[in-house]
Amino acid sequence: MDLIGQMGAVGAVLGLLGGALWWLRRRGIATLAIGRKRSRRKLELVERLPLSPQHSLHLVRLGETMLLVAASPGGCRLIERRSAAAGAGREEIAQ
């Protein structure tokens, strides 16, 4: 009798967890990634250098390209573009 009660409690907890996961997935809060490959991100912020409260430099990796972008209240401007495959690392662009 004690074993049946424990199995029932485990079943109830698993049912509640499954119901909560279903509800969260339906609302778009949780995703289930079983068997899916994670895709490599194409766009990545490598480094940010604040120059003033409103001006900054951003080093961005876009696929195999490194971009140095200046951001200001007037907009953004591309300063330099280099191929990451050609050996242009973060240290080389920053100097």
The residue extents of the domains of the chain are 1-36, 43-94
| Local confidence band at 29 (pLDDT 50, 70, 90 cut-offs) | confident
CA separation for the pair 59, 73 (Å, rounded): 18
Mean predicted confidence (pLDDT) in 70-90: 81
d(CA 34, CA 87): 36
Is the pTM for the entire model greater than 0.85?
no
Mean pLDDT of 9-37: 83
Whether the predicted pLDDT of 11 surpasses 60: yes
Mean pLDDT of the chain: 83
Q: What confidence category does residue 66 fall into, taking pLDDT thresholds of 50, 70 and 90?
A: very high
